[in-house]
Every structure is written in C-alpha cells, then in structure tokens.
C-alpha cells in the first residue's frame, strides 16, 4: 500500500494548493504547482489511482480533486514539513502575550482570543485539573464587622476569593477559630468528600458556627467544581465566516452553535504537554458537528499537575503546519508564563531560526 514518490508529491501538491485556494485541483494545476517533469496526462493517471486508494475525492466528474480525510492524515503524518515561524510572527506573538499579561487566570482566558486572532480560526482554551484536586488552605480576612473575605487555595495553586456579608457581627477571634476549623477539617478533601465531612461537623459545632462553615465550604466546593468541570472558553467564533467552506449558513450554523455551547464535551485531549500538537481530521472527530471540520490543539504544562489546552477549529482544509507551529509557540509561551510566575517572555521561548514563508 506504499505510494510511489511521485504520487506522494502529487498528493502533497493537491493538498497545498487546495489549502491555499479552496478549490478542487486539476491535473494541470498539479503539473504547474509541483515541478514534476511529466505531463498532465501522467498526473491524471496517478490521481485516479490516488482516488481509488482513498486519498483524494472528486466533488463530481469533471471537477478537480480534493483531499480526503485519509489524504490529510497521510499528509499530516508523513508529508508535512515543519513550518518555521518567521521573526515577525514570533515577535508579534510575544508582544501580544506580553501586553495581555495579567494574572495567569486571565491569561488563559485570553489565550483563546490571542490564538483566534493569530490563526483567523475560532479558538478554544481550557485548563484541566487533576482528578483529585483539593483545597490546600483557607484564609479569612475580616474587613468590616459584618463582612469578610474568604480566600481559598487549591493544591494546584489556584487562588479564588469571595466576599461574604453577614446579618450579624463577627469578631477577629471568631474568624480565626473559623479559619482553624476549616483548615483542619476541610483541607485535603476532594469534592465528593465535602458532603460527609460537613454532615459530621454539623453534629459537633454550634448552629452559628456551622452556618459560617457551610458558607465557606460551599464556596470552596464551587471552586473545585469549576476547576474539575473545566469550562471551555471560546473566542473568535465569527472567524468561521471568513472561510469559504462556511459561507453557506447551513454549514456554518451547526458548528457555530456547537462552539457557542459552553461545554462541548470533554475533549479527548490526547496531546502530551509540551509535545506535538494533536490533529483531529474531519470524521475522526467524535462530535457530530465536527465531522466536516478539523481540530488542532496543543497542550501545555501549568505546573502542579494543572494542564492547559488551546486549540482551533477550522475546515479540514487547514494549513496544518502553520497552525501547529503557532499553537505550539503560544502554548510554550503560556507554559513559560506559568513557570515564571507571571513574567512575560522577553525572547522567543523556543529559539527558532527563521525561513522565508508565505503568510
């Protein structure tokens, strides 16, 4: 089932031409595109063969060929050359990351937007917490007689706070006691273990104290839940419309709705942090709405067991090489920021050398 060198070149030419022009590619076009010193008739024969083998498709007789998902897959696995980011590109990404620099939380929220702008495809970003995430510590700050701030920190170093107002007064020492209770009773517990422990405490503690405990513990549970549920942030959904395959509303709408739906299901994030991007082509997607589209995603390490995932969704006709390169670069930048505790990268994280490329 091995393809001859020439056929591979033809397949590659078809894909790259189609990626650029979004139009079926004819034998003549291939002859011009790839400098194979054979006539279009020869290429025609080879293309017929490639179609029979399932790498190419024909929208209709007398149209050119377009790559099939299988064709894209072969391309991604074997034929694709690494795309080198140009100096301008890396500089642009660096600047964006630097200017958008805020608390890491926000960076991740905004990573999607950055990627969407960068790739002109809709993007998504999410963070994945380890399954057994727990609260590491509670801190309580009295700010008025009847109001305090609860600050909780998970064992993955995520910090969240919430302001509580009560209808009665509270002393500093009461608050300290409450803090001690929380830190001894409710740290190191996973989400599911909160309920039983809370019930146990309900028996010992006074009614008043219990109410406070419940309040703060509930908040802690919400934090854990949010992290475990890993909500997906999407950005640049409107970018879809810029690409010809989504010009017809019937094509665009389902995908847009799918992406708008806050939780489009736990992605099968196979990609290893820091590793190569994960490319899922057309029908390889599980979600029905993605069957005609491709997903490219990069995973990165946030430290403390937390992982981040950013990716884009687009037509199967994507410049996988370029998108991959950019995603990887942004992912590296984010990991860098996380590792540095918030300092933006002042130089390209990966240290790449540059090659001329068409943008």
Closest CB to DNA among 59 and 195? 59
Q: Does 65 bind DNA (CB under 7 A)?
A: yes
Q: Does 61 bind DNA (CB under 7 A)?
A: yes
Which partner in a copy of itself, DNA, none is near 202 (CB below 5 to 8 A by kind)?
Answer: none
Q: Does 241 bind DNA (CB under 7 A)?
A: no
Which partner in a copy of itself, DNA, none is near 245 (CB below 5 to 8 A by kind)?
Answer: none
Q: Which of 7, 8, 44, 352 binds DNA (CB under 7 A)?
A: 44
Closest CB to DNA among 56 and 227? 56
Q: For residues 320 and 308, what is the distance between their CA atoms, to the nearest angstrom?
A: 20
Closest CB to a copy of itself among 28 and 100? 100
Closest CB to a copy of itself among 195 and 231? 231
Within 13 Å and on the Cβ side, how many CA atoms surround 140? 28
Q: Taking the complex as a whole, how short is the minimal distance between the CB of residue 37 and DNA, in angstroms?
A: 6
Which partner in a copy of itself, DNA, none is near 84 (CB below 5 to 8 A by kind)?
Answer: none
Q: Single out the segment in contact with DNA by CB under 7 A; choices: 26-34, 91-99, 128-136, 145-153.
A: 26-34
Cβ-proximal residues to 130 (8 Å cutoff; 6+ apart), any chain: 156, 305, 306
- Contact status, residue 160 vs residue 151, Cβ threshold 8 Å: yes
Closest CB to DNA among 29 and 297? 29
Chain residues binding a copy of itself by CB under 8 A are: 102-104, 113, 137, 139, 141, 143, 149, 151, 153, 157, 159-165, 219, 222, 226, 235-239, 241-242, 247, 249, 252-253, 256-257, 259-260, 262, 341-342
Cβ-proximal residues to 125 (8 Å cutoff; 6+ apart), any chain: 108, 109, 111, 112, 115, 232, 233, 235, 308, 309, 310, 311
How many other β-carbons are positioned within 10 Å of the β-carbon of residue 103? 10
Q: Single out the segment in contact with DNA by CB under 7 A; choices: 56-64, 131-139, 162-170, 189-197.
A: 56-64
In order of 176, 225, 235, 350, the CA distances from 313 in angstroms are 49, 26, 11, 24
CA-derived radius of gyration, the chain: 26
Q: For residues 311 and 287, what is the distance between their CA atoms, to the nearest angstrom?
A: 16
- Contact status, residue 158 vs residue 104, Cβ threshold 8 Å: no
Q: Single out the segment in contact with DNA by CB under 7 A; choices: 24-32, 167-175, 225-233, 254-262.
A: 24-32
Q: Does 63 bind DNA (CB under 7 A)?
A: yes
Closest CB to a copy of itself among 123 and 321? 123
**Which DSSP letter does residue 119 get?**
H
Q: Which of 8, 22, 33, 48 binds DNA (CB under 7 A)?
A: 48
Q: For residues 23 and 20, what is the distance between their CA atoms, to the nearest angstrom?
A: 8
Q: Which residue has the tokens 């490639």?
A: 50
Q: Does 58 bind DNA (CB under 7 A)?
A: yes
Q: Does 42 bind DNA (CB under 7 A)?
A: yes
Q: Taking the complex as a whole, how short is the minimal distance between the CB of residue 102 and DNA, in angstroms?
A: 47
- Contact status, residue 156 vs residue 148, Cβ threshold 8 Å: no
Looking at residues 303 to 342 of the shown chain, list those that interact with DNA (rule: CB under 7 A). none
Q: Taking the complex as a whole, how short is the minimal distance between the CB of residue 13 and DNA, in angstroms?
A: 12
Q: What are 1's strand-pairing partners?
A: none
Which partner in a copy of itself, DNA, none is near 256 (CB below 5 to 8 A by kind)?
Answer: a copy of itself
Longest dimension (CA), the chain: 90
Q: Taking the complex as a whole, how short is the minimal distance between the CB of residue 34 and DNA, in angstroms?
A: 13
Q: Does 35 bind DNA (CB under 7 A)?
A: no
In order of 124, 126, 148, 280, the CA distances from 236 in angstroms are 9, 15, 38, 20
- Contact status, residue 157 vs residue 303, Cβ threshold 8 Å: yes
User: Which region holds residue 171: left if phi is over 0, alpha if psi is between -120 and 50, else beta?
Assistant: beta
Contacts with DNA by CB under 7 A: the residue count is 26
């Amino acid at each position: 089932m091995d393809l001859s060198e020439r056929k591979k070149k033809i397949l590659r030419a078809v894909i790259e031409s189609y990626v650029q022009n979004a139009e079926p590619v004819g034998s003549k076009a291939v002859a011009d595109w790839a400098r194979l010193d054979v006539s279009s008739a020869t290429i025609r024969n080879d293309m017929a063969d490639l179609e029979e083998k399932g790498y190419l498709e024909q929208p209709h007789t007398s149209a050119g060929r377009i790559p099939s998902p299988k064709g894209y897959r072969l391309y991604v696995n074997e034929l694709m050359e690494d795309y080198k980011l140009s100096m301008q590109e890396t500089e642009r990404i660096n600047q964006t990351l630097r200017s958008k620099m805020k608390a890491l939380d926000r960076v991740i929220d905004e990573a999607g937007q950055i990627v969407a702008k960068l790739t002109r495809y809709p993007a998504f970003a999410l963070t994945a917490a380890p399954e057994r995430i727990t609260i590491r510590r509670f801190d309580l700050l009295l700010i008025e007689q009847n109001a305090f701030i609860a600050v909780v920190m998970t064992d993955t170093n995520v910090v969240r706070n919430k302001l509580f107002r009560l209808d009665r007064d509270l002393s500093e020492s009461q608050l300290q006691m409450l803090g001690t209770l929380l830190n001894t009773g409710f740290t190191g517990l996973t989400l599911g273990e909160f309920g039983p422990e809370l019930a146990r405490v309900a028996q010992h503690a006074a009614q008043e104290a219990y109410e406070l405990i419940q309040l703060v513990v509930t908040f802690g549970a919400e934090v854990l839940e949010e992290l475990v549920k890993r909500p997906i942030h999407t950005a640049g959904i409107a970018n879809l419309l810029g690409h010809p395959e989504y010009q017809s509303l019937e094509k665009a709408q389902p995908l847009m709705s799918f992406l708008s739906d806050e939780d489009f299901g736990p992605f099968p994030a196979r990609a290893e942090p820091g590793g190569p991007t994960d490319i899922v082509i057309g029908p390889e997607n599980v979600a029905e709405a993605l069957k005609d589209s491709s997903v490219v995603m990069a995973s990165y390490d946030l430290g403390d067991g937390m992982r981040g995932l950013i990716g884009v969704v687009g037509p199967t006709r994507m410049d996988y090489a370029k998108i991959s390169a950019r995603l990887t670069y942004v992912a590296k930048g984010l990991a860098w920021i996380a590792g540095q505790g918030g300092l933006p990268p002042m130089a390209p994280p990966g240290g790449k050398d540059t090659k001329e490329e068409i943008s």
